[in-house]
Chains A and B, each alone.
Chain A
Amino acid sequence: MNDANSSVDEYSIAKKLTLRAAQREAALTSITSGISSGGDEGVIGADFSNLTLKPDHIQRPCWTCPDGHIYLEAFHDLYLQAYDFLVAIAEPVARPEFVHQYKLTPYSLYAAVATNIETESIINVLERLSKNALPIQVKKFVRDCTSKYGKARLVLKHNKFYVESEYPMVLRELLRDPTIAQARIQEDVENVDEHGFITNAKAEEMKENLEMLREPDEDSDDDDDGDNQDHEQKQKKPTTVVSFQVDGAKVENVKRQAIELDYPLMEEYDFRNDTMNPNVPLFDLKPITRIRRYQERSLAKMFGNGRARSGIIVLPCGAGKTLTGVTAAQTIKKSCVCLATNGVSVLQWKYQFQKWTNIPDDRISVFTSDQKENLHPDACVLITTYTMISYSGKRSDQSQRVMDQITGREWGILLMDEVHVVPAKMFRKVIGSVKAHTRLGLTATLVREDDLISDLNFLIGPKLYEANWMDLTAQGYLANVQCVEVWCPMTGSFMKEYLQASNARLKQLLYVMNPNKLRAVEFLVRFHEERGDKIIVFSDLVYSLKLYAEMLKRPLIYGETPERERQAILGTFRATDALRTICISKVGDTSIDLPEANVIVQVSSHFGSRRQEAQRLGRILRPKSYTQQDGSNRSSFNAFFYTLVSADTQEMFYSAKRQQYLIDQGYTFKIVTNLCEKASEEAVKHNYAYSSPEDDRKLLRTVLTSETDLEKEQKSEDAAIRKNNPDGAGLADAGTKRTAGMTMSQVSGGGGLRYREITSSKKHPLFRKRQRR
C-alpha cells in the first residue's frame, strides 16, 4: 500500500509546516524585542503602554498585546464567553485565579480554523472582547496563519476522496498545480457548477461550538430575533461547498503538494457514509455509561460537523481520558487501533472498552510482547503499544502475522494514549504502519522533551480541546488537592557530608536520606493512617525506597518486584483497610491505577521534571467518593500531595522547577517549615525508627558506605523496568538522549514550554551497550 518512504516524507513535510509556523511566530515576537532593544544587556520586558484603549474598555474582559499575548480578567462578567473563545483560538499560558494569560500561536489558530472558526470571526470577536484596539500586528498574524489553513479539506466520503472547500477560488488555485490536477477524477454527476466542481450543502458545524462567536446581546431569551439574525448571517456565508474527487492512489501526493502550496488539507472522515469498511457490531455504550460535560465538549469539537476530525484532546490525569477515547471509537464504530505506552495500560484499556461498551469479546484483541492475539477478520478493536508497532527488527512469526494484518487493513480511528511521551521517530513508524482515517491523541500534560509538540499539530492534528484543571476541580470532577512542600532541614552531620561530597549521586543520596526527612515521612504516614487515608510514598531512588519501606514496615513496589507480588500488594491496598500505605518507585508514575489513594508523600523525584510532578499528582486526582459535586469544595481539601525537600540542597532548586506546570494550572504549593520540628518531637515521644542522634549517625555511616550498592541497585532497577516491561523499553531509551552543552535550567526544564529529560547516571562506555540491551 504505502511504503515506509511516504511516511518519512509525511514527517519531513510536516516539519516544513512547523518551520513555517515558527517563522510566523518569530516575526510576531520580534515586535517585543524591537520595541525594547534599548540596551544590549538583557531585554527589559515589553512596553505596550502606547496602545489605544477603547473608551468603554471597562466592559471588555481582555487585553491583546501586539506580540500575541492575551490577558483575560477571570472576574469579568464576560469571562465565560471570552474563556471559551480564547481557549479555542489561543494557547493557555497560565490560568491562576484572577488573570489568565494566553498566547496566539500558529498552532492554536490552526486548531481554531480546523473547528470551523473563520479568520474574520476570530478577528471580530477578539476585537469585541479586547479592551484595547486590536493591534494591526495581531490582525496580520491571524490572517497570515489562517488565510490558507483550513480552507480546503480532504474528505473521505463514500470511500472516495474529495478535496472540498467553501471557496471555488481555493480549489482553482490547487488545481493549477499539475500533480493535483493529474490526480483529479472527473465525475459525471448532476450538481456540478460552472468550473466542474461538485456542489453540496455545507456540513453545518454544531451550534454549540460556535456559540462563543455570537454577539453578547443576542441572548437566547429573544429567540425570534436571534433566529432571524442567524438566518441572515447564514445567507451571507456560503452555505454550499464545492469539491472535486481525487484518485485514492494519489491522495498522498495531493496532500504533499497541498502542503507545498501552504494549503495543508485538513482531513475529515465522513464515517457515517463509509460503506466499504464494516462496522464493529454491538459497539455501543452501555446504558450505565455517563459522559461528563467536558468530555462531551471535547467530543463535540471532534465530531463538530458530523464528520470525524483528527486532533489532540488534553484532559488532566484522572479526568477520564480513557472514557473519552472509548466514546470516540464507538462513535465512529469502525475498526480501531489503540496505542498505549506499556503492557499494563494495554490491559487497562481493554478492561475499559469492555466496561463501557457492549463490544463482543472476540472483536477486541491485544497485541503485546506476551499476548499476540489474531485480529478478527472483520472490523475489530486492537489494543497494542507504540513499541510493538514501531519495532523495526526481526519479529517472531506470530507477531509478524499480526503486524501484516495491521498494515494490510484500513482503520477507522487511531487512538494514541499519552501522546506526549512518544518519540518522534516512533511516530513516523506508527503512522507508516497504521493506515487510519482519523487520529486522536490523548494526553494530560502537553509538555515534552523535544520539539515534537509542534510536530504533533501536523502529524496528528490540532489540539481540539484542553480542560482547565481548576474548573474541573471546582465542579468536583477532580479531587481537590492540597499541595504541600515540606522543608526538612538537613541535620548537621548530613549537611557537612553533603557539602564535602564531590559525587552528585552521593549528594542526592544524602539529601534523600536526611534523617529529618525520614522522621517527617513517618510522622505524615502515621498521621494520615490514623485519619483513614490511603497513602503512596514515592521515591525514585531504590536504595532509599527500600530503607523507607523498612522503616515504615510497609510493602514496596519497584522495578524488580515480581508481577504476582505486585498484583497482590496492589490488590490488598485497593480492597482492604489492612494496608493503608505502599512505597513505590518511579514505576508507579503512570501505569498503576489506584483510585483509592488520596495522599502522596514524595520523597525523591526525577530532578526538575514537570511532567513527573503532574503525573504523580494525577495519581490522587480521581474524585473521591466524598467529593461534593456542587462546586463548593474549593475550600475543603480531600487529597494531599506532600513533597519533602531537604532545605539548602539542590532539591530546593529542582522542586521549584517541577512545580511550574502545576502552578500555571492554578495550583498553589503551601510551604511548611515547622513540620520537621514537630516530627522530631513526636519521634522521641512515640519511639520512631529514627529518633535519636545515635540513629542518625548510624544512618549516616550506612549511607556513606553503601554508595556502590546504591549504584548497582539503581542500575538493576532501570534494567528491571526494561525487562519486565519490554514495551516501555523503547520509550525509556529514547527518553535518555543526552545533549551536550546545555545550561542547568534547560536540563531541569526551566528553559521554557518544553523540557528535555535526561538521566544523570554516568555510564561507563563498556556498559553502555549492555544497558541498551
Chain B
Amino acid sequence: MGPTSPKRPLSPKGSADQLPSAKRVNHSNSPTPNASEISKATSSTTADGGGGPKKKSKQQQVMAKTTGVMDYLQKSLSRPELLGLYKDPDRGRFVCRSVLQQVPELSQQIVVRLSCTGGVFPLAMIYSWFRSNTTPSLSPTEAAASHGRMIKLLEHLYQWAIIVDKPSSSTKKQDPNTTAGDNTTTSANLVQLTPEFYQGFKNSLHSLDSSPWNPLTEKEMELIEEDAIKTSGKSNIKFPRMSNEDLERYTQAQWDAVLHYLVGTGNYADPHPAVAHFLLQTNLMQPDPDFKGKNTDDAPLVITQKGYDFMLQDNAQQVWHFIVQYMASMAENLSNDPAKAQLLKREALLVLICLSFARFGECYSGAGLTKEGRTIIKDLSLFGLLYTKKVGKTFIFYPTRIAMQLVGLEGTSNKAGGGGGMWSWSSKALENALAHPRPHDSSHLAIIVQTNFQLCAYTTSELHVSMLGLFCDVHTIRRLPNVIFMTISRDSIKGAFNLGIQAQQILRFLEKHAHPKLRESGTDPLPANVVDQIFLWDRERHRIRWNQVFNHQPIMPGEFQAVQKYAMELGAHGWSSEARNMIMIKYSFVDRIQNFVQKWRAKQASG
C-alpha cells in the first residue's frame, strides 16, 4: 500500500488520570475514505454483533460439521456417552446394530468374529486374518502397510467404543512375521469388545424384531378409534390414516412454513410460536437491527448470517442442522441441571436411532415411548418431521421419510441411489420447472447469472423468490410463470451483507443452483465479472480494521522515547504521538511493555 495518512485513533482523548489505562481504541489502517463510509462501516460492524464478535463454543462448531446422527455419535459424543447408549436395556441393541452398519466391512467382520469368540481375541491372530487375504510372503514394506491398515481399523473401532483398548503401537516394532508364533498374551496384545457393545450386539442377534416399536395394525387403530369415541362421547373422532403421499405433503408444508418464515415471505402463515422462539434462540433469526420502534420486543425477526447459511443447505442437511440446534438448545435450557440435560440428549439420540428402524407410512403408538421421548417427538412434529395426533387418550405418530433419513446420510444416499451431487439435482430441477407449468414439487431451482448482473431463475417457488430477494434488487423483479428475472445491484448485495450474509454464501448458492446449460462449457458457471464485483463489494466493508490496543501515557521525561523505541523493536508499536503524549501498544504486548516500563522507571528513579 502507498504511504498512508497519519493514523488517527478515533478514541476520545486520554483520560485525566496519569496511570496507564487499558482501553480499546479503534484504529484505522487505511486512509479514511470519507465520513459516510466510516459511519457505514461502523454501523455494519455493530449490526452483525450477533454473529461476529461472539465466539461460538467449541462444541457447537464441532456439531455444525456433522452430517447425520451417526456422524454425530462418532464426532461429538464422549466415550462414556456412547457406552451409555449401547447399554440402554431396550434400545441399545438398535444402537449397536446401526453403529455396526457404519463401520467398514472389514471391521464388521472383525466385530462379528470377536463376538463369536467371547469378545476377546489376541491381536496377533487378528493380524493373521489380514495376512491370509494376501499372498503369504510379504516384503517388509507391504507387511508394514497391512499392519498399519489393521491398526487403523482397530483405532476406528476404538473410537466407536466397540473395543476396550486402543491397539498399542508397540507391536508395530516387532517383526510382523514372527509375532504370529509369539504367545505373549498380555492385555496389550488382546483385542476385547467393550462389555456394553458386546451385550447390545448379542441382544441384537438374539432378538427377532426388526423395529423397536410395532406398528399399529388396522384392528388396533379401530380399537383406539372406538375407545376414543366411547370416552369422549363424540362420534366424529376419526383415526387419522395417512397415506405416504399425505405424509410427504405434510412434511413439505410444515418444513416450508419454517423456511418461509425464516426468509420472510409475506403471505405465509406464521409457524407455531415455539418454532419462532426456537429460531431466535438458535441465532438463525434476530430482531431486525434496523428496527426503529421503542419496544425492541416488537421488532420483526429477520434472518441472520447463520440462518442464511442454513437456507443454503439442501433439505436433508437442513433437517440435520436443525436437530443439532435442537439438542444444543436443550442443553442450554437445562444448563443448571446437567444430569437432566444429559438424559434428554441421550433420549433424543435413542429416539432418532429408533426412528430409523421404523417403517415409513406406518402408524405407531406413543405408548412405547418414555415421557421424555414423547416430548421430543412432539417437538419434532412442530417442524414436520413427524406427524403426531392424540386420538382420545392414545398418542400416535407417523414417522416421515425425512426423519428416518437422519441416521447417517452416506448410507441412505447409497441405497436410494439419488445422490450424484448437485449437478443432477439442478438438472432435474430444470426438467421439472420446464415440464410442469406449476410443478407440484416446488423445490427446484436453476439460476443463470448474466454478465450484465441480471439473474434469471427457473423456479416457481415463493421460497426461492424470497431467498433471491435477500440479495437481489426486489424492485427489478419480473416474474413469469416458470422464471423470474432480477438484477443484482450494489445496494441489494450490501443489504444482504448487513443481514450478515457473506459474499461466499451468495456465490456458493448461485453456483450450487446454476443452470445445467452453464456447466456444459466446462467453465465456471458464474461470470467472472459478477463474482469479482461481489467480492469487491464485500471488501468495501472491511476497509477499517479494528485492532485492540493499549494506550500508554508516559509520565516521566524520556519515557516516551524509551517506550517507543522498545515497542518498535518488539513489533508492538501501533501508533504514537509525542505531542499528545500517547503510545498505542498492540494489546498482546501489554504485559511485556508494562514490565519494561516498571523496570525503566525504577532505573530512572534510582539512577
Binding site for B on A (CB under 8 A): 42-53, 55, 57-58, 63, 65, 69, 71, 75, 94, 96-99, 101, 131-132, 489-493, 495-496, 499, 516, 648, 663-664, 666-671, 673, 677, 680, 693, 696
Contacts and interface: CB of A to CB of B under 8 A. Distances in A.
Contacts of A51: 480-481
Contact of A663 (B451, B460, B482): B451
B536 A673 contact: yes
A75 B529 contact: no
B16 interface: no
A8 B448 CA distance: 50
Contact of B474 (A44, A55, A57, A496): A44
Contact of B528 (A50, A131, A668, A680): A668
Nearest to B530: A668
Contact of A499 (B1, B34, B448, B454): B34
Considering residues A50, A98, A669, which has the most beta carbons from chain B within 10 angstroms of its beta carbon? A98
A495 B528 CA distance: 30
A452 B177 CA distance: 95
B454 A670 contact: no
Contacts of A131: 482
A583 B454 CA distance: 36
Contacts of A96: 450-452, 454
A126 B175 CA distance: 82
Interface stretch (B2-10, B85-93, B126-134): B2-10
Contact of B3 (A43, A55, A693): A693
A622 to B, nearest CB: 23
A632 to B, nearest CB: 13
A45 B474 contact: yes
Contacts of A63: 480, 483
A680 B437 contact: no
Interface string B471-513: 0001111111111011000000000000000000000000000
B475 A45 contact: yes
A496 B481 contact: no
A563 B37 CA distance: 48
Contact of A45 (B1, B453, B477, B533): B477
Contact of B434 (A57, A516, A648): A57
B435 interface: yes
A48 B454 CA distance: 18
Contacts of A99: 448, 450, 454, 456, 485
Contacts of A663: 451-453
A663 B450 CA distance: 10
Contacts of A50: 481
Contact of B5 (A71, A493, A677, A696): A493
Interface in B534-564: 536
Contacts of B338: none
B456 A98 contact: yes
A666 B451 contact: yes
B122 interface: no
Contacts of B453: 663
A554 to B, nearest CB: 25
B31 interface: yes
B478 A97 contact: no
A282 to B, nearest CB: 48
B478 A65 contact: yes
A663 B528 CA distance: 14
Given A44-B474, A57-B437, A492-B3, A97 B481 contact: no
8 contacts: A43-B475, A45-B474, A49-B480, A65-B478, A94-B454, A99-B450, A666-B452, A667-B451
Nearest to B5: A492
List the 5 closest A-B pairs by CB distance, nearest first: A45-B477, A492-B5, A53-B437, A96-B450, A668-B529
Contacts of A52: 437, 481
B390 interface: no
Contact of A664 (B5, B452, B486): B452
Given A492-B5, A516-B2, A668-B529, A53 B479 contact: no
A182 to B, nearest CB: 51
B517 interface: yes
A58 B536 CA distance: 37
A495 B479 contact: no
A45 B476 contact: yes
Contact of A671 (B437, B480, B482, B536): B536
B518 interface: yes
A516 B2 CA distance: 9
Contacts of A491: 2-3
B34 A98 contact: no
Contacts of A47: 477, 479
A667 B434 CA distance: 29
Contact of A48 (B474, B475, B479, B517): B479
B527 interface: yes
B120 to A, nearest CB: 64
A495 B480 CA distance: 47
Contacts of B456: 71, 98-99
Nearest to B473: A45
A131 B568 CA distance: 70
A673 B460 CA distance: 39
B2 A492 contact: yes
B517 to A, nearest CB: 5
B434 A97 contact: no
A97 B450 contact: yes
B182 interface: no
A670 B480 contact: no
B607 interface: no
Nearest to A483: B529
B420 interface: no
Contacts of A49: 460, 479-481
A54 to B, nearest CB: 8
A641 B590 CA distance: 52
Interface string B431-463: 000110100000000001011111010001000
A96 B485 CA distance: 14
Contacts of A492: 2-5, 31
Given A97-B450, A99-B456, A492-B2, A670 B532 contact: yes
A495 B450 contact: no
B2 A48 contact: no
Contacts of B528: 668, 670
Given A96-B450, A98-B448, A45 B2 contact: no
A97 B3 contact: no
Nearest to B485: A71
Nearest to B462: A49
Nearest to B484: A49
Contacts of A97: 450-451, 527
Contact of B480 (A43, A132, A648, A664): A132
Contact of A680 (B2, B31, B483): B2
A496 B518 CA distance: 46
A131 B532 CA distance: 34
